[in-house]
Amino acid sequence: MSALSLEQASTILDDNFARWVKALGIRVEAIAVDGKATLRIPFSEELCRVGGVMCGQSLVSGADTAMVLALAGAMGGLKPCTTVDITINFMRAVTKADALLEAKVMRLGRTLAFVTCEIREAGSDKPAAFATGTYALL
């Protein structure tokens, strides 16, 4: 199975995700055949609460998107799937900075996949949030 290029991963994002998800400005930074993907949500006041804190809804949506793209990387392309469960734990705020989302496929089965996503503020090595997702492969 060949790895997806950044261009292919970006096309998957552009062609398959809802307009409101794309309105977050999410960009694919890296994609790998081993089921890893790194995405970036650029800082925007429109995504923030008071004080320049990026809202949790943006981060959850970004994590879900990153996990689906990590799955696409592991499967050599986007295959039909749906989110069964997503859980996120917030540890610190992403404030007036881009959010980096690093997703990793933990297990890719025949009917279910299990994926994680660590979210950090750009320029920091401390996690701001950690998400887990379960995906049904259709």
Where are the chain's structural domains?
6-137
- The whole-number pLDDT of residue 106 equals 98
Q: Is this prediction's pTM over 0.95?
A: yes
Mean per-residue pLDDT over the chain, rounded: 97
Whether the per-residue pLDDT at 1 is higher than 70: the answer is no
3-class SS of residue 59? helix
| 6-137: CATH architecture | Roll (3.10)
86-125 burial code (b ≥16 CB/10 A, e <16)? bebeeeebbeebbbbbbbbbeebeeeebbbbbbbbbeeee
Whether the per-residue pLDDT at 78 is higher than 80: the answer is yes
